[in-house]
Copies of this chain bind each other. A is one copy, B any other.
Amino acid sequence: MKELREAILKQGFGIGHDIVKVDMFLNHRLDIALLTNIGQAFYEAFQDEPVDMILTIEASGIAAAITTAQAFGNLPVIFAKKSRTTSTLSSDVYEAKVYSFTHKSENFIRIAKNYLPKGSNVLIIDDFLANGEAAEGLAEIVRQAGAHVAGIGVCIEKGFQAGGQKLRNEGYRVVSLATVTGIENGRLQLADADDAD
C-alpha cells in the first residue's frame, strides 16, 4: 500500500537492528485518514473471502480492525484482552499463551466464548507481524472455537523476522500492507511492492 509505505519512510524510523518505530501514525498517535484507507485496503484484499467478524488484540490492533470492519459494511470487531495471568473464569473464555519478544515475558490472551460462535469466518487484523506470536495466539483461539480463519491482515510485516513465513507455511493467507526488510543506520528499508499494490 503506497500511502502506508510513504508514511513509514517519511515518519517512521528504526532503532538498532529490529525495532520499528511508527508511534506517530500507527500505535500511539493515530493518523485516522491513513487508517481509514488501511481498512479499505484490507477490504480489497479479503473481499472475496467469507468474513463474519474482525478479530484483533488490544491495544494497537484495534484501530485498523475498526476501519476494516467499517470497510466491510460494519462487521463486528472482537478484541482479545491481554493478561499476565491465566484466567480464573476459564469455562467462559477461550485462552491462548503468547510470548512477547519485546517484553521478554509470557502473556495470556482471551476472548469471551459467546462472542466467537462455532463456524464463524474470522478475519484477523493486527498492526505488526514480527515473530507471529500474537497472530498464532489469535488463530489458536479461533481453532478452539471451531471457527475458521478467513485470513490474516497486518499493516506492517517485519520481513526479517520469522512470523510471516511460519504463518504462510501453516497455510494461512497473510496479507501485509508494507514490509520492512531491514534497518540501516536508523533508516527503515522497505520492500518495493506488497500484497496490496
Residues of A with Cβ closer than 8 Å to B? 23-24, 28-33, 35-36, 58-59, 62-63, 66-67, 69-70, 74-79, 81, 111-112, 114-115
A78 touches which of B30, B77, B81 (Cβ 8 Å): B30
| Chain B residue contacts of A67, Cβ below 8 A | 66
CB distance B79 to A28 under 8 Å? yes
CB distance B74 to A32 under 8 Å? yes
| Chain B residue contacts of A111, Cβ below 8 A | 28
CB distance A76 to B112 under 8 Å? no
CB distance B76 to A28 under 8 Å? no
CB distance A32 to B77 under 8 Å? yes
A115 touches which of B29, B59, B69, B74 (Cβ 8 Å): B29
A58 touches which of B29, B32, B58, B70 (Cβ 8 Å): B58
| Chain B residue contacts of A29, Cβ below 8 A | 76-78, 112, 115
| Chain B residue contacts of A78, Cβ below 8 A | 28-30
Besides A24-B114, A30-B78, A63-B77, 16 other CB < 8 A contacts? A24-B115, A28-B79, A28-B111, A28-B112, A29-B76, A29-B77, A29-B112, A29-B115, A30-B76, A33-B74, A36-B70, A59-B59, A62-B62, A63-B66, A66-B66, A66-B67
Smallest CB-CB separation from A114: which chain B residue? Answer: B24
A32 touches which of B24, B36, B75, B115 (Cβ 8 Å): B75
**What's the Cα separation between A114 and B23 when bound, in Å?**
11
14 pairs, CB–CB < 8 Å, chain A vs chain B: A23-B115, A24-B115, A28-B79, A28-B112, A29-B115, A30-B76, A30-B78, A32-B70, A32-B75, A36-B70, A59-B81, A62-B63, A63-B77, A66-B66
